[in-house]
Structure 1
Amino acid sequence: MRRQKRDMTERAFSKGYQAGSTGRNKETCPHENGDIRQQWLTGWREGRTDQWDGYTGVSGIHKMEMH
């Protein structure tokens, strides 16, 4: 059974979270569209916050599954 593609905003948030949690700069956002870009940046901010709070590596796996 095939998995359906996720909503683009959900995917943008997830990719932004991954970028933020690995320490990448927010200027690397690949989106120019307002709504999708905003979701990516929101995910990036949450990822950065989690990185600063120590949710990296094994301790952050449970956070990745939620997004």
Structure 2
Amino acid sequence: MRRQKRDMAERAFSKGYQAGSTGRHKETCPHDNGAVRQQWLTGWREGRTDQWDGYTGVSGIHKMEMH
């Protein structure tokens, strides 16, 4: 049986977090839809904050599991 896809907003947040934590620019957001784009940017901001605080690589694994 196939697993259902996650909610688009949840997926956008997760992808945004990954982009932010790896240092990608927020202009790389692939979404045009307002609500989904906002979730991606929120995840991106949180990812950038975690990167600045040093939660990258192995020390940030626990943060990724929460998203």
The alignment-based identity, stated in percent, is 93
Q: CA RMSD of the aligned region, Å?
A: 0.6
Per-residue deviation at 1:4? 1.2
TM-score (norm 1): 0.97
Q: For structure 2, list consecutive stretches of 5 or more residues without a partner in the other structure.
A: none
Per-residue deviation at 1:29? 0.2
Aligned counterpart, 2:45: 45
**Whole-Å Cα distance in 2 between the matches of residues 65 and 2 of structure 1?**
22
The ranges of structure 1 where at least 4 consecutive aligned residues each deviate by more than 3 angstroms after the TM superposition are none
* Correspondence 1:34 to 2:29: no
Name the SS for the 2:35 alignment partner.
Answer: helix
**Whole-Å Cα distance in 1 between the matches of residues 51 and 4 of structure 2?**
30
**Whole-Å Cα distance in 1 between the matches of residues 15 and 47 of structure 2?**
10
**CA deviation string 1:10-66 (max 9, x = no partner):** 000000000000000000000000000000000000000000000000000000000
- The 5 Å alignment of 1:1-67 reads 1-67=1-67
> Aligned residues, how many?
67
TM-score (norm 2): 0.97
